[in-house]
Amino acid sequence: MEPLHFDVLIIGAGLSGIGAACHLSRECPTKRFAILDRREQVGGTWDLFHYPGIRSDSDMFSFGFDFHPWPGLKVLADGPSIQQYISDTAEEYSIKEHIHFGIELSKANWDSEKKIWVIDGINLKTGERCSYSCRFLISCTGYYDHHQGYLPEFPGAEQFQGDYIHPQHWPEKLDYCNKTIVVIGSGATAVTLVPALAEKAKHVTMLQRSPTYIISVPAFDKLSKKLLKILPSSWVFKFARWRNIKIQRWLFKTSKRWPNFMRKLFLRGVRKSLPQNFDMRHFTPSYQPWDQRVCAVPDDNLFKAMRSGKTSVMTDEIESIGETGIQLKSGERITADIIITATGLKLQVLGGMQLYVDGNEVNIKEKLTYKAVLLEGVPNMSWVFGYTNAPWTLKADISAKYICRLLNYMDQGNFDTCIAKDTEGCSENSSVMSSLNSGYVERGNNVLPRQGNKYPWRLLNNYEEDSRILLKQPIEDGILTFTLRQAPEVTPSIKASAHKTEETMTS
């Protein structure tokens, strides 16, 4: 079977993939490209998750695309709204006609002789094998397994008689009205679920092993609402994006420079939002701000649920799970009709696809990333990997722009391959997500690419500096190397034909 050939293939039709395709269509209009995705519609994460209250944990003005600003006033938008925003963006830039849905990819192999990638997969609708090829491959698959989330082994979990659910696989018709619920976890998913469930449930307990930093942000942007009355919407939304990026960067930088000050500031905000005499140990992390991601909640909704008495929080460890609830190591016991394990993600790269160069498997966890965009030692391949200390799309946007710059540079120089090689042995043991010490990051250390001991092999996690380097600095830097495109060989028959034509013209 002859592979379907494209200049560029993008893996994934989520936020990163649609963004990359839009940049490609805008900045490399002559490139023939396609997007491959196992799902049946765009959205990625925002099409996969359907648990109650699903929303962003970053403000939408900086989480949205730079070329298509978030058009609403919701600061932390719900999942369906985000999915619709991605779909509308794909529609506006005529991207949907380039998407091949229902394609489960298994293998990508770089052929050095032909200078192409060959990607193998299965059409999930027909069950038939399919094959694609391209000159340049872009992975936009994120970093977690869409098939299953992370679920610790709790002793006795199989004995529980109620519903035992991971948010990644939320039952469509689950009835939790007037039910007693325990949500295990304290991350972004847990703090989203708890207040949403509390609206209908009898009681919700957030059971955490350790607390997380939580800040409250406005649900709606009141300033932008006022500005829309006197200014064009494009100005207002661009200003909102610029303002929120500045605020977010200030919070992160200040947290790293004066962690004790920011710790006091965050905890003071929580204390004001909780009932009087509330035990603050449940919201006092043992680590400093931004050693792990800070969770955001809209308009105090988690703390309002705490004040209402319909939710509570317990900080303890699970000893075992029984038929009707959870036994804690402290000796306390929680009864439950439903247990929700908001215990995190299972990390995965390239959507589970295996990568090869000339038939030799590439061990991703032993590779570095070049400027956090290209994979070291792998020709004509990039991956779009957003920020973990800031809105994901900030990095995804500038990465896609850099890829377009690189493709145009290769065309101008008549190059057919580019490759980044570490000739100095810069690799370290830590992964590209080592700036965070969250549990899912530590679990994923043996899956993700390595961190280097210096730039460009080391991540900066700095939007201003990354923007300057990726968008302004020259493409060639002595590390990224290129090979010239070779002219096709002229076969003897063609040579003979050319000789006869020359004789005819002479005579």
Contacts of 319 (CB under 8 A, 6+ apart): 155, 327, 328, 329
Shared-domain flag, residues 69 and 83: yes
Which of 291, 307, 341 is the last residue in one of the domains?
341
Shared-domain flag, residues 314 and 428: no
Q: How would you classify the pairing of strands 203-208 and 180-184?
A: parallel
- Tell me how many domains the chain contains: 2
Task: Name the 3-class secondary structure at 135.
Answer: strand
Omega prior to 195 cis, within 30 of 0: no
Element (H, E) at 427: strand 427-431
pLDDT for 144: 82
Quick: pLDDT tens for 323-342: 999 999 999 999 999 999 99
Shared-domain flag, residues 188 and 132: no
Quick: pLDDT tens for 76-102: 999 999 999 999 999 999 999 999 999
pLDDT for 436: 66
Q: How far apart are CA 122 and CA 131, in angstroms?
A: 8
Give the domain range for residue 287.
Answer: 157-341
Quick: pLDDT tens for 458-480: 998 899 999 999 999 999 998 99
Q: How far apart are CA 486 and CA 504, in angstroms?
A: 30
Number of H helices, E strands in the chain: 13, 25
Cite the beta strand spans of 153-250 per DSSP E: 163-165, 180-184, 203-208, 214-217
Shared-domain flag, residues 95 and 169: no
Angle at 59 (CA atoms; ends 57, 60), nearest 5 degrees: 110
Q: How far apart are CA 111 and CA 381, in angstroms?
A: 12
Average pLDDT over residues 445-458: 88
> Does residue 121 sit within a domain?
yes
pLDDT for 293: 87
Task: Tell me what percent of the residues of the chain surpass a pLDDT of 70.
Answer: 94
pTM of the full predicted structure? 0.91
Give me the CATH number covering residue 130. 3.50.50.60
| Residue 261 reports pLDDT greater than 80 | yes
Lowest mean pLDDT among 147-156, 314-323, 351-360, 395-404: 147-156
pLDDT for 224: 95
Shared-domain flag, residues 350 and 332: no
CA separation (Å) from 465 to 255, 332, 472? Answer: 18, 50, 10
Shared-domain flag, residues 186 and 323: yes
> Does residue 254 sit within a domain?
yes
